[in-house]
Amino acid sequence: MSINRTLFLLVFIITLVFGAACSATEEEQPSKPNILLILADDLGYNDLGFQGSTELKTPNLDNLAKNGVIFTNAYVTASVCSPSRAGLITGKYQQFFGHEANIPPPELGTDTTMITMADVLQENGYRTGINGKWHLGYNYNYHPNSRGFDHFWGFLGGHRSYFPEGYSPENYKAIYTNRNHTPFKGEYLTDTQADEAVSFIDEAIEPFFLFLSLAAPHAPMHALKSDMALFSNSDRPEYAAMVYAMDRAIGKVVDHLDNIGELDNTLIVFLSDNGGSPENDSENAPLKGFKGNKFEGGLRVPFMVHWPEKIRGGQRFNGLSSSLDLFPTFLNAAGIEKPQDLALDGTSLIPFMVNEQDRSPHDQLFFRKETAAAVRDGKWKLIRLDDYGYVLYDLENDPYETDDLKNQYSAQFEKMKTALKNWEKNTVDPWWNENTRWQQVTIDIHEDLMRNQPIRRINPN
Ligand code: CA
Centre of ligand 1 to C-alpha 104, Å, is: 14
Residues 297 and 427 reside in one and the same domain: no
Residue 99 and residue 82 in contact, taking contact as beta carbons nearer than 8 Å: yes
Residues 145 and 73 reside in one and the same domain: yes
Residues 265 and 289 reside in one and the same domain: yes
Residues 245 and 375 reside in one and the same domain: no
Residues 381 and 308 reside in one and the same domain: no
Centre of ligand 1 to C-alpha 29, Å, is: 39
Residues 149 and 262 reside in one and the same domain: yes
Centre of ligand 1 to C-alpha 193, Å, is: 17
What pLDDT does residue 401 have? 92
Q: Name, in order, each residue with C-beta under 8 angstroms of 1's C-beta and a sequence gap of 6 or more.
A: none
Residue ending a domain, choose from 306, 330, 354: 354
Centre of ligand 1 to C-alpha 81, Å, is: 4
Centre of ligand 1 to C-alpha 272, Å, is: 7
| CATH code where residue 267 lies | 3.40.720.10
Number of domains in the chain: 2
Greatest distance between any 2 Cα atoms in the chain = 97
Looking at the domain assignment, is residue 383 inside a domain? Answer: yes
Centre of ligand 1 to C-alpha 345, Å, is: 21
pLDDT digits (tens, 9 = 90+) for 437-449: 433 322 232 223 2
Residue ending a domain, choose from 316, 331, 354: 354
What pLDDT does residue 167 have? 56
Residues 368 and 346 reside in one and the same domain: no
Residues 241 and 368 reside in one and the same domain: no
Centre of ligand 1 to C-alpha 323, Å, is: 14
Residue ending a domain, choose from 300, 321, 354: 354
Distance CA 365, CA 225 (A): 42
Residue 109 and residue 144 in contact, taking contact as beta carbons nearer than 8 Å: no
Looking at the domain assignment, is residue 29 inside a domain? Answer: no
What pLDDT does residue 458 have? 29
Residues 221 and 131 reside in one and the same domain: yes
Residues 292 and 371 reside in one and the same domain: no
Residues of the chain scoring pLDDT < 70: 1-30, 166-170, 434-461
Distance CA 172, CA 166 (A): 13
Looking at the domain assignment, is residue 93 inside a domain? Answer: yes
Residues 332 and 442 reside in one and the same domain: no
Looking at the domain assignment, is residue 460 inside a domain? Answer: no
What pLDDT does residue 448 have? 32
Query: For residue 437, what are the domain limits?
Result: 364-450
Looking at the domain assignment, is residue 27 inside a domain? Answer: no
Looking at the domain assignment, is residue 312 inside a domain? Answer: yes
Looking at the domain assignment, is residue 21 inside a domain? Answer: no
Residues 134 and 251 reside in one and the same domain: yes
Centre of ligand 1 to C-alpha 147, Å, is: 20
Centre of ligand 1 to C-alpha 96, Å, is: 21
